[in-house]
Amino acid sequence: MALWRGSAYAGFLALAVGCVLLLEPQLPGSALRSLWSSLQLAPAPPGPGSPEGRLAAAWDALIVRPARRWRRVAVGVNACVDVVLSGVKLLEALGLSPGNGKDHTILHSRNDLEEAFIHFMGKGVAAERFFSDEEAFHDIAQIASELPGAQHYVGGNAALIGQKFAANSDLKVFPAVTSLGLNEQELLFLSQAASGPHSSLSSWNGVPDVGMVSDILFWILKEHGRSKSRASDLTRIHFHTLVYHILATVDGHWANQLAAVAAGARVAGTQACATETIDASRVSLRAPREFMTSHSEAGSRIVIDPSRPVAEWHREGVSFHFTPVLVCKDPIRTVGLGDAISAEGLFYSEARPHY
C-alpha cells in the first residue's frame, strides 16, 4: 500500500510540474528547480528493510544463551559514583570558555581540564585522565554534582559488571584474569607500553583501523596470553569502539562467540538510546563496510552484509569475531557503557573448562 501511495504522489508531482511548464514555458530555470525541490518527497524513516533494521533483526536471531550457563563470577573490588551531565555546562559553571584543545597525560588545573575536554570532544572519543590537584578536583566534582540536571549512577567497572551478573551468579574475588574488555585508547596504550604492533601511532585517526586493531589483539593473546610455557590465564579480549566490536579468543577455551559479540554491540545501542530494543530510526550504521583483517601479514578482505553482521576469521589459533555497532544518533546515557558492553558480551559467552 505504501508503495502505491508513493507512486501516486510521484505521479501527481510530475503532473503538477508538467502543467506549470505548459502554462508558463518561459519560467526561469531557477524557479523550476526551487519548485521541484520544495515538492520532493521526504525520505522514508529507517524501518525493518533499512540496513539498521536488517542488522538488528540479524542480531536478534544470532543472540542465544550459551549451553553452559554462568554459575559463579569473580569481579574486582572498585566502585564509585558517576555524575552524568553536559560537559559544556560544566565548563561554563567553572568559568571556562572554549579555546584550543590539547591532550594532557595528567591534569593539574581547570585549564588543563578544558583543553583535554576540547581535544577529545573534537575527536569524538572518550578519555580518562588523572587529576593531580586533590583540592581542585574535589571543587570541580562538587560543582558538577550540584549542577541542575546532574544525574548520579553507580560507577566503577566491578560495580557495574557485578550489577549485571548479580541476579544470576554468586560473586567471589581472586587474581586470575581470563578475559579483558578494552576500548581503542586502552588497546593502543597497551601496545605502546610494550612496543607492540603499530605502537608508533600517537593516537587513532578517526575510526580505528580494523586490521591494526586485529594485529594488536593477536599480539596480546600470542605474547601475553595463556600457553603451556606461560603462567597466564588470558584467553579472551572484547575490543569495543564507537562503530564496531571485535571479540578475540584463543581456540578451545570459549564458545558462543557470535552471540557474545552481537550482544555486546546491541547493548551499546539500546543503553545509549535508553530503549529496551533497537529502534532503527534512532541509530545509524557507521562501521566500515569492508576492511583488511591484518596489516602485519597478508590479511583477507572482508565485506560486511547487514543481514549477516558478524564476520569471522582465524589466525594461528586465535579466532576473531567482528560486528558493527548501531550508533545512537542522540545518546541519552553513555556513562558506564563500556562496562555494560563487556558484561553483556561475557554473559553470553561460554567458557570451556580446562583441568
Which amino acids are annotated catalytic? 339
Residues 239 and 248 sit within 8 Å (Cβ to Cβ): yes
- Single out the residue of 70, 38, 47 nearest to residue 347, CA to CA: 70
Q: What cell numbers appear for 1 in the block?
A: 500500500
> Is residue 268 classed exposed, middle or buried when 0-12, 13-18 and 19+ CB atoms within 10 A define those classes?
buried
CB 339 within 8 A of CB 162: no
Looking at residue 86, its amino acid is: S
Cell output for 245: 566490536
Distance, in Å, from the CA atom of 63 to the CA atom of 94, rounded to the nearest integer, reads: 45
41: its cell numbers = 518527497
Query: How big is the chain by its Cα radius of gyration, in Å?
Result: 25
